[in-house]
């Protein structure tokens, strides 16, 4: 499943309102020693694409660092606020110094700047953004409304992003790795955490769209129908082996499957949503052979 990162538009106040601007008499960027720069503990980004980092490293080897990083001064050097990719690539490229803008920023501003810079560059996945929002709430007492104003997103968008942290760890990982989208994650959130793992495999293996995932979740949450013309055995609904077979069939076919036993055997009922869904099931059951 190829997942394109969801694009962010109009990020609120922007970095210029969070970073104190220098007066005409203040110095501009200055070169600082890379080995004196400590990592940003408030960096919301945790994953760095190796191919992108390799490209950036080669660019820095050839052209140098074209955009200064942002740091704040500490007793024994500097603490990085924004520009971790540039610092990592410059270090790999063998540079000893890097251009930097030095500003005085408190911890809250450091987290805000790092979060907004990554959102503007679309460098954060949805889980990293959710974790950044959660930190603003837990550590600095922000409300979802205040975060929405800071980053230029609707309050509902911020709230929905934060709710991704309630998903099963495997689903969070899939969203973070962009194997599924944030929309898939929200759809899977309609299931209990225990069931999300099983359905996640179906979504990825069958490359289901968000709409198909929502429909699958809806059908799995519906009560199982009892066929009136086929009396089921009293123990069929509590038979763990039968329920395990149903669950395996649902995962394999990506749709609701019901088993009903009768005195002479039983029936398998496979549901589909529309003609497209029927075609998908046909290909699945026949192996794609006409």
Q: Could you read off the pLDDT of 21-40 as tens digits, one per residue?
A: 444 445 568 888 999 988 87
Q: Please state the rounded mean pLDDT for residues 71-90.
A: 85
Is residue 199 in some structural domain? Answer: no
Which range has the top average pLDDT, 1-10, 165-174, 203-212, 278-287? 165-174
Predicted confidence at residue 272, as pLDDT, reads 75
pLDDT at position 250: 79
Segments forming the whole domain that contains residue 281: 225-290
Identify whether residues 19 and 138 lie together within a single domain. yes
Q: Which residues are catalytic?
A: 84
**Contact, 107 vs 42, CB < 8 A?**
yes
pLDDT at 288 over 50: yes
pLDDT of 252 over the 70 cut: yes
- Asked if the structure places residue 155 within a domain, the reply is yes
pLDDT at residue 15 greater than cutoff 50:
no
The region that residue 78 occupies, defined by phi over 0 for left and psi between -120 and 50 for alpha, beta otherwise, is beta
Distances (CA, A) of 36 to 19, 114, 151: 22, 19, 30
Q: In this structure, are 23 and 154 located in the same domain?
A: yes
Give the CATH number for residue 72: 3.90.1530.10
Q: Which of 145, 163, 181 is the last residue of a domain?
A: 163
Domain boundary among 163, 189, 204: 163
- pLDDT per position as a tens digit, 169-181: 999 999 988 899 9
User: What's the rounded Cα separation, in Å, for the pair 199 and 251?
Assistant: 6
Q: What span, in angstroms and rounded, lies between the C-alpha atoms of 208 and 199? A: 11
Q: Is residue 173 part of a domain?
A: no
Residue 268 lies in a domain: yes
In the chain, beta strands by DSSP E: 30-33, 37-38, 69-74, 77-82, 97-102, 257-262, 265-270
Total number of domains in the chain: 2
Which ranges of 141-286 does DSSP label H, i.e. alpha helix?
144-151, 155-163, 169-176, 182-188, 193-205, 210-221, 240-253, 275-286
38 and 137 part of one domain: yes
Instruction: Tell me, yes or no, whether 42 and 159 share the same domain.
Output: yes
**Closest Cα partner for 99 from 75, 64, 149, 150?**
64
Question: pTM higher than 0.75, yes or no?
Answer: no
Residues 44, 134, single domain; the answer is yes
Do 155 and 229 lie in a common domain?
no
Residue 198 lies in a domain: no
Taking the C-alpha atoms of residue 115 and residue 46, their distance in angstroms, rounded to an integer, is 12
For residue 42, being part of any structural domain is answered with yes
Does 164 score more than 90 pLDDT? Answer: yes
């Amino acid at each position: 499943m190829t997942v394109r990162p969801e694009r962010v538009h109009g990020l609120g106040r922007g970095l210029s309102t969070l970073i104190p601007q220098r007066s005409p008499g203040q110095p501009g960027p200055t070169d600082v020693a890379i080995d004196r720069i400590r990592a940003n503990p408030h960096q919301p980004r945790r994953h760095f694409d190796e191919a992108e980092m390799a490209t950036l490293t080669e660019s820095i080897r050839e052209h140098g660092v074209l955009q200064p990083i942002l740091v704040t001064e500490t007793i024994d050097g500097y603490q990085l606020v924004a520009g971790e990719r540039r610092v990592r690539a410059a270090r790999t490229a063998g540079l000893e110094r890097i251009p930097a803008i030095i500003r005085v920023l408190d911890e809250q501003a450091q987290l805000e700047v790092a979060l907004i810079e990554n959102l503007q560059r679309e460098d954060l996945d949805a889980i990293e953004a959710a974790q950044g929002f959660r930190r603003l709430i837990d550590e600095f007492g922000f409300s979802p409304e205040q975060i929405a104003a800071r980053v230029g997103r609707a309050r509902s968008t911020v709230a929905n992003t934060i709710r991704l942290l309630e998903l099963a760890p495997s689903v969070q990982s899939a969203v973070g790795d962009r194997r599924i989208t944030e929309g898939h994650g929200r759809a899977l959130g309609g299931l209990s955490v225990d069931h999300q793992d099983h359905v996640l495999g179906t979504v990825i293996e069958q490359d289901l769209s968000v709409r198909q995932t929502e429909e699958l979740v809806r059908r799995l949450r519906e009560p199982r129908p009892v066929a009136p013309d086929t009396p089921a055995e009293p123990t069929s609904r509590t038979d763990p082996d039968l329920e395990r077979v149903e669950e395996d069939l649902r995962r394999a076919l990506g749709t609701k499957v019901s088993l009903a036993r009768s005195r002479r055997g039983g029936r398998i009922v496979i549901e589909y949503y529309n003609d497209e869904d029927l075609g998908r099931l046909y290909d699945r059951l026949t192996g794609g052979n006409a």
